[in-house]
Structure 1
Amino acid sequence: MEVAQVLHMNGGIGETSYACNSSLQGKAISMTKLITKEAILHICSTTTTFPKSLGFADLGCSSGPNTLVVVSHFIKVVHQKFCQLGRPTPELNLFLNDLPGNDFNTIFRSLPGFFKKLREGNGDDLGPCFISGVPGSFYGRLFSGQSLHFVHSSYCLHWLSQVPRLPEINKGNIYLTKTSPPSVVKAYLEQFERDFSVFLRSRSEELVPGGCMVLTLRGRRSEEPSSREGGYSWELLGQALNDLVSQGLIEEEKVNTFNMPIYIASPREMKSVIEREGSFDIDRLETSEIKWREEDNLGDNEANKLRDANNLARYLRAVAEPLLADHFGEALMEELFCRLREILVVDGMDKEEAKLVSVTVSLTRRK
């Protein structure tokens, strides 16, 4: 499987689209808003000469209601800061990046309304803003040298550039579980370390000295890579696939040869790679939690279980269906996610498993 050719969120605005099932990612962006603002103000305050233009890139932008949230935040913070300084707002070059399969058309169709709303909220002295789409993998260079001042990425860097080359079969699993061989766990960690190092090295060449990045990943607090804290949802999806095997709808070999190109890292693992690569100083490194459940205080009655099961199944379908359909075939997708909902209704999630852990790191490019 060529991940860069297959990996993308479900496009459009339908029931199973990412646009309609990305509220968790939206919460993650909201929770890191102050960290993002702090980094943007740092750039504005430490610039020795007032630049004519500022470069901003959102890596892994996807499409839907979250795509332009950080762009809007960046524009407003920069505009307000330069107004306070009594200086005209610089030209803003804003780049939206994702893999080529991303639904860029939906983004571009939303831009006229976005700019209209932006002008209404900030006035005509806002200054020129230029938004461009940049298709390609962020595991490599995307922009010209020292052309960016700020880079943002949310819920993207846990996706790997490729499925790790596994020395053993990860039998019956599609990600790391307690039954995964140690060599498989090691291969996943090493792939993450290679990818994250390439990402940091590439961005260090594209950012100006003193430029900043704010990165948010799905993460785990535990130092055990196969802990449920990081991979329980994928464990349940693997269970649904194995149920289809028992029904004769999928061959067992098909499941054994499918592994998610994802790694849920701990803060310590991220810090180790950043320090070893050496291009950035860590300003902040924090964890936070988001609840899978919309209303956690209503008890575990059947209606709530069904609602939670539907929400989580749609979320996983929106982010993973293209990968699964490429390997197992589109015809099985409805059956697969119906089975996943059934598993979720019966098993549910306890309080720990119902929490999604995020790791956010704020970095400054060394001068």
Structure 2
Amino acid sequence: MKTGLYDRHVALGAKMVEFAGWEMPVQYTGVIHEHNAVREKVGIFDVSHMGRVLIKGPGAEKLMDYLSTNRILGKKEFTATYTVWCDRSGGCIDDLIVYREGPESFFIVVNAGNREKDLNHLKEVAKDFDASIEERYQDGILAVQGPNAKPLMSRLFSAAEGLKPMRFVLIEDQVVLSGTGYTGSGGYELYGPMDAIAPLWDRILEEGQAFGIQPVGLGARDTLRLEMGFPLYGHELSADIAPNESVASWAVKWDKEDFLGRQALESLEASGSKRTQAGVILKEKGIAREGCGVFRGEKKIGTVTSGTMSPSLKQAIAIILVEGKIVSGETIDIEIRGKRVKAEIVPLPFWRKEL
């Protein structure tokens, strides 16, 4: 499949790759250059492969709350909430953002590889609630991220200037501007019909020249999110990794009303077999990739879920999933191509924005 911006990516010289069934730009000028542009200036991403779904009706709020590990009930209008969806066994179906438009009106944005699974899950659970579901998988989605995102977007849209993180507004007919992102550098995401989003890509890219804008591919999107310790579905979260074992454990609210999968997660908490995810910085040469073994002494205690060379830190970083608990400052070994490499447990995020 191709997004409505495919021809623009090719014209910009992007290297295209297959991702979750989509032909997507992995890089334009290079991952490190694009990564640094987002950290220092501003980058624009096409993330239209992700899926948008509208949920409306008298039962929409209770449906969203029941599906979500995070609290949705009582959230103010025009707020965005990060959450995880679980099945009854406590496995993760997806992580996503729930946007509240009105008392009975919500939309969600889900991961590209989970579009059909999430929609089927939503429709099945919605049978017990008075709510309608409308998938908007033809919509376009852009992300504009980095320290120059605010001055750039404020020049184009007055509403951008005062927009706070995890809030959103309607800026044009059916186009949503939200203070969300997956980079940690601040910025915005835009959602709307592709015939409105495609011209916005052109406008933002043109106006952004004065702000050092750079189109950014999936390669830098991954290094940016990893520096923040943000989860990627299929790596830090999956059917086999419960949210309370993951870097997204903060999004499991035990003091909220019942949610799907809660009993399974509570059983895991009480079992003594819950695992832990943590960040590590490698102290020796090598890059830890997904699947590399993690050792404490001679005992294998877990695996790497994601790893890369951090362009900002110029150090190899990784997220690991291990049995039991692990503490910051502890040194463990990671096996890379048959060789053990020392790594130190560090608090997340790896990278912090200078104030």
TM-score bucket (shorter structure): under 0.3
Q: TM-score, normalised by structure 2?
A: 0.24
- Higher RCO (CA 8 Å, separation ≥ 6 residues): 1
Higher helix share: 1
